[in-house]
Amino acid sequence: MAERKTVQRKNSTRRPTTSTRKRPAATTKKATKRSTTRKPTKKSSQSLSRSTTPRTPEQRKRMQQKRRAQMLRRKRITFFTGFFAFVLAVVILIAVVTRSIHSGMAKSNTLTLTDENVVFEEVTPSEGLDKKEVASYAKEVVSEYNKEVGKKKIKVKKVSEYKDSLYIKTIYDNIDVYSNFSGYEAFSGTLQAALDAGYDFSTTFVSVSDGKKGDVADTETVCADPSLKVLIIRENATFKINGTVLFVSDENTTVKDASTVVAAEENDNASAALTYIIYK
């Protein structure tokens, strides 16, 4: 019986399995120590060394001078950038204003006939001419004419210099005033009024359609409607009328568009042929 009990005791004392074993305390402490005591990074060590390293007064002075130089350099860059931007804006503004001022100016001598008045734009080379002297002379001559007729019939609107040319813009009350002042023969009115005034329409005419010269038109066709308007003038210039050109005298004329005719020839204005522009 005693032997059996001994065997039973030996069998009951089994060794524990590996899953129930506990880690040694030393290993746990070692892992905890590794996780908590990390080595400082390079950046933090540099900042630490910079902040803790003592500087001499000379070093601090150099640092302050370096910072001031950097700030001054930045201010200069900002100033010059703003200055050049301002200069560029001014240049662009001047160019735009100059272009807008001269955009409506005629490029050659141009007479514009409106319902209210006659506008003449004279363009002449400025070489050897002084703008102030020309303006003073033009205003003086116009003033004398107005005093002579007793009314302000003519007005010098503008005198300017642009691209080696002098530009004079003068406004006349009507075509008669323009003819009397300039000395060039000119008439404006209806066809019937022109016939009554003795104008001869026996010259060669061409029809005008869509701003271009067309076929030859005889006098009977041209004068078929006596209520049509006509500008008759003996001068080499560009003529603009307030309407649509229907017929034009063919000699030395070019139709620029539906309301613009250019009369040009080698002779001077005194011997120029009469230009007839019939329109509605």
192 and 256 fall within a common domain? yes
280 and 195 fall within a common domain? yes
Q: Find the farthest-apart pair of alpha carbons in the chain and give their distance in angstroms, rounded.
A: 171
Burial class (CB in 10 A: 0-12, 13-18, 19+), 68: exposed
207 and 280 fall within a common domain? yes
Q: What is the DSSP letter of 61?
A: H
User: 279 lies in a domain?
Assistant: yes
Can you give the pLDDT at residue 270?
Answer: 61
Can you give the pLDDT at residue 127?
Answer: 85
Q: What does the pLDDT look like over 102-123, one tens digit per residue?
A: 446 778 899 999 989 999 999 9
User: 255 lies in a domain?
Assistant: yes
Q: What is the mean pLDDT of residues 3-22?
A: 47
154 and 221 fall within a common domain? no
Query: Beta-carbon neighbour count of residue 261 at 10 Å?
Result: 24
Q: What does the pLDDT look like over 37-47, one tens digit per residue?
A: 455 555 555 44
- When divided into structural domains, the chain yields a total of 2
Distance CA 91, CA 96 (A): 9
164 and 228 fall within a common domain? no
Write down which residue in 175, 204, 238 finishes a domain: 175
Can you give the pLDDT at residue 9?
Answer: 46
User: 150 lies in a domain?
Assistant: yes
258 and 168 fall within a common domain? no
User: Which of the pair, 174 or 103, is modelled with greater confidence?
Assistant: 174
Can you give the pLDDT at residue 74?
Answer: 80
154 and 189 fall within a common domain? no
User: 264 lies in a domain?
Assistant: yes
CATH number of the CATH domain containing 164: 3.30.200
168 and 208 fall within a common domain? no
User: 249 lies in a domain?
Assistant: yes
Q: Which domain holds residue 219?
A: 184-280
Can you give the pLDDT at residue 205?
Answer: 97
Can you give the pLDDT at residue 71?
Answer: 80
User: 27 lies in a domain?
Assistant: no
For residue 199 the two structure tokens come to 């104008």
pTM recorded for the entire structure: 0.64
